[in-house]
Amino acid sequence: MQTSSFFAIISRMRYIERWALMRNSRPENLSEHALDVALIAHCLATLGNVRYGRHLDADRAALIGLYHDASEIITGDMPTPVKYANAEIRDAYHRVEDTAQKTLLSTLPDDLRPVYQKILSQQQPADADEAYLLKLIKAADKLSALIKCIDEAQAGNAEFATAEASTRTIVEDMARELPEVQDFLTEFLPPYGNTLDQLL
């Protein structure tokens, strides 16, 4: 039986540092970020089901969250100001991401590839529930970034002040459409940055 390098490659998420253009009080790697996004995405989907009568697959939200930036193992983390500087760069980077995803998928055994393609490739949602779930995962990604900014501010690092303000605006805009995001902002975000004694 032939070997597959897929999970050995995925394990390298821990070596991809985020926020490359920023001075960090504590570096954050892609593996940490992926876990945060998975946890938050699961929470948002659960809020949707419990409070808003939705029929979302919270476990799938967590799974997609874990893999949502897997292509960055190959591409590296492109800083947001660069990635979205203009339409030409944005579109080119999306093509690079697509190629990286295909490269990752090519390392899987043929029989497993279709399963992981459904996790890694989220361009055409199957139905309205899936489309809504993908919006929540995107919101979880932004919430994770906001939490990083809050953590840096708590550590006395003013470097993230502008990023915090712009990310908070994006998240608040999302919350107008996604009530689950507003619930997270109201109930779960405020304790971030507290000490363990305060949290307990």
Amino acid at 34: A
Residue 170 has pLDDT above 90, yes or no: yes
**What is the biggest distance separating any 2 CA atoms in the chain, rounded to whole angstroms?**
53
On whether residue 98 sits in a domain, the answer given is: yes
- What pLDDT score was predicted for residue 76? 79
On whether residue 49 sits in a domain, the answer given is: yes
For the chain, what is the domain count?
Answer: 1
- What pLDDT score was predicted for residue 83? 67
- What pLDDT score was predicted for residue 94? 79
Residue 158 has pLDDT above 70, yes or no: yes
Amino acid at 140: A
Mean pLDDT in the chain? 92
User: What is the spatial distance between Cα 172 and Cα 182, in angstroms, rounded to a whole number?
Assistant: 7
The CATH number linked to 44 is 1.10.3210.10
Q: 3-44 pLDDT, tens per residue?
A: 999 999 999 999 999 998 889 999 999 999 999 999 999 999
Lowest mean pLDDT among 47-56, 79-88, 100-109: 79-88
On whether residue 1 sits in a domain, the answer given is: no
On whether residue 97 sits in a domain, the answer given is: yes
Look up the domain containing 166 and give its range. 6-199
Phi, psi dihedrals of residue 124, rounded to the nearest 5°: -125, 95
